[in-house]
Structure 1
Amino acid sequence: MPFPLRIALRTIVSLLAISLVAFIVIAAMPSDPVAIAIRTWNLPATDQTVAALRAQWGLDLPLAQRYLAWLTRFLGGNWGTSFRTGEPVLSEFARRLPLSLLIGLSGLALALVAAVPLGFAAALNPRGLADRATRVLAVFVQAVPSIWLGLILIWVLGVHFRLIRPFGHDAGSLVLPILLIGLHSTAVLARVYRRDLIHVTTQPFFRTALAKGNSRSAALWRHGHGHAVYALLSAFRAEAGWAIGSTAAIEVLFGLPGISQFLVESIAARDYAVLQAYVMVVALWLILMNAIVEGALHWLDPRT
């Protein structure tokens, strides 16, 4: 089976499986959204009111019928209506998703660009300054939660030095969230890139390149970069998944109107349509990133 067709088929099957599991799990969540809506909107808790809301939201149907009805509408572009806001979920996501993608993709792109020179400098001089700095940074970002680090940076850069406006709505207010996303991934990717470059220096062909008169940096770049990029892209796939949770935390911390903040606000109301749509968007993000990385790895080494 051709590579693109195999990726497309796996994507469709994965999305269908994820949608079914997510629908069952969300439907099994405790608390009834109808009861929550009645308390929130101060409606009379009569049998007629409860029955009308359940019929309006399709909660009176069997689970299998509800799933098939939701899937049909979802594929047709009707993602349902938010119980909490009364607005179409697709419209809410279309308005909020660009901001979330901007933060996540910018942070990952920053990390990918910064990891190569940092990892190369660390591999060029093991146990040197760059090597120690990337090691300390990797340990630090793994040990310190992004929310805690964000609070510290808000106080230092926003309150103490007044260099940024952390809670504004302009482009400058996005600098710190993007840096927080990129900081974690930069450390991880730089160490992965450095590790594979170090492995190349132990190979006979690298010693042959040195014997031919190449400098260590030239030989390392010419013979090690391609090998290390392969490992770098594999690690990038995992970092793309990590960026989802980090973006969600940062959106809440900085009050950014992305889809993750919308999700947090919708959880308490058991807003099924929003929860299901969020799961599908995240699943599509992960599957697309995985497909892109696999395509790049296949291009680098068609034998895979």
Structure 2
Amino acid sequence: MHYAIRRILGIIPVLFFTWTIVFGVIQLIPGDPVNLMLAGVPASAEVRENERRRLGLDRPIIERYVTFLGRALRGDLGESYRSRQPVSKMISEQASSTLQLAAGGLAVGLTVGLLLGMLAGLMPNTWVDTLCMLVALAGVSLPSFWIGMMLIYVFGMTLAWVPIVGSGFSALILPSITVGLFVAGGFARLVRSSIIDAMGQDYIRTARAKGLSRFSIAFKHALRNALIPPVTLLGIQIAVLIGGAVVTENVFARPGLGTMLVEAVLNKDLPLVQALVVYTTAAYVIINLVVDLLYGLIDPRVQAGRS
């Protein structure tokens, strides 16, 4: 409990540091925010000054910085220059699509990656190991847009098993596979190496001497002790997925935070860019905290060491 409290309190300086960098970088970007908001529409100096006052740009930078931190804690980071809508509302409208894709890709990646890694780790240096690692290497190496287009051509157009675009579970299958194969590739390779290392430990030899079945040894003893490195990688992958699989979203014409971020950068919509980066960094830090706390649940020795 004390360790969890310390880690939660440790989030505060990390978020403070990252959000400070975000604010500073946005301030260094050249260009007048009022001109970006007006998007070339002619306006008098009085109108520009009133708009600058409404945005708070006439105040000192320190005051704007304190206001920014306060709004970030409340989840209010201003209005979009382009749509004039609150950026928090715009992000919340797109977040569900990104979270659905992240959850689907994670489910595919975990299932395929764990299966390939376990098979390869339990039968190292065999044809099964070679085949599993070839599939994992292909998932990591092949570009997402190519995998997506092949899935669209085969399962969406030729066989017509699932829809290519749209909403609902059926339209999520192909994008989830596209994202999940990349997650599965790295996850499978790490599970394999962890299983091979765990199977050579003394407690595995003791379990064999007791006459335990191969299944029991693999899943009750080896897998649990081999999960910490893969879970660490999984935490990073989840953060990347929440940040948005931009290529996959564009291939399948899906809305999402990744596509929104690209469009915001191209349109120089600074409040929206700033809000997306702030929320993404917060999600990344929180996910890493959750992964760190999971170590103690997976391996009691980690919890004992922390105590």
Q: TM-score, normalised by structure 1?
A: 0.89
For structure 2, the residue ranges without an aligned partner over 5 or more in a row are none
Q: Tell me whether 1:7 sits opposite 2:11 in the alignment.
A: no
Q: C-alpha distance in 1, partners of 2:56/2:253?
A: 33
For structure 1, the residue ranges without an aligned partner over 5 or more in a row are none
**SS at 1:135's partner residue?**
helix
Partner of 2:201: 203
Contact 2:36/2:81 (<8 A) preserved:
no
Contact 1:181/1:246 (<8 A) preserved:
no
Q: Tell me whether 1:103 sits opposite 2:95 in the alignment.
A: no
Partner of 2:62: 64
Partner of 1:116: 114
* CA RMSD after TM alignment: 2.3
Q: Which runs of 4+ in 1 moved over 6 A?
A: none
Q: C-alpha distance in 1, partners of 2:70/2:180?
A: 38
Contact 1:31/1:270 (<8 A) preserved:
no
Q: C-alpha distance in 2, partners of 1:4/1:140?
A: 38
TM-aligned CA distance change 1:210 to 1:99, over 3 Å: same
**SS at 1:82's partner residue?**
coil
Contact 1:33/1:269 (<8 A) preserved:
no
Partner of 1:163: 161
Contact 2:99/2:242 (<8 A) preserved:
no
Q: Please tell me the residue identity of whatever aligns with 2:25.
A: V
TM-aligned CA distance change 1:10 to 1:109, over 3 Å: farther
Q: TM-score, normalised by structure 2?
A: 0.88
Q: C-alpha distance in 1, partners of 2:128/2:33?
A: 54
Q: Tell me whether 1:194 sits opposite 2:187 in the alignment.
A: no
Q: Please tell me the residue identity of whatever aligns with 2:286.
A: L
Partner of 2:175: 177
Residues 144-155 of structure 1 correspond to what in structure 2 (within 5 A)? 144-155=142-153
Q: Tell me whether 1:264 sits opposite 2:283 in the alignment.
A: no
Q: C-alpha distance in 2, partners of 1:107/1:267?
A: 26
Q: C-alpha distance in 2, partners of 1:123/1:275?
A: 43
Q: Tell me whether 1:239 sits opposite 2:244 in the alignment.
A: no
Contact 1:267/1:275 (<8 A) preserved:
yes
1:136 to 134, 137, 162: 134
Partner of 2:18: 18
**Shift in Å, 1:177:** 1.4
> Higher mean Cα deviation, 282-291 or 72-81?
72-81
Q: C-alpha distance in 1, partners of 2:74/2:206?
A: 60
TM-aligned CA distance change 1:260 to 1:246, over 3 Å: closer
Equivalences, count? 302
Q: C-alpha distance in 1, partners of 2:37/2:146?
A: 34
Q: Please tell me the residue identity of whatever aligns with 1:62.
A: P
Q: Please tell me the residue identity of whatever aligns with 1:267.
A: V
Once the two structures are superposed, what CA deviation does each residue of 1:189-224 show, in whole Å capped at 9, x if it has no partner?
122112111112223332343344334443333331
TM-aligned CA distance change 1:48 to 1:182, over 3 Å: same
> Higher mean Cα deviation, 75-84 or 189-198?
75-84
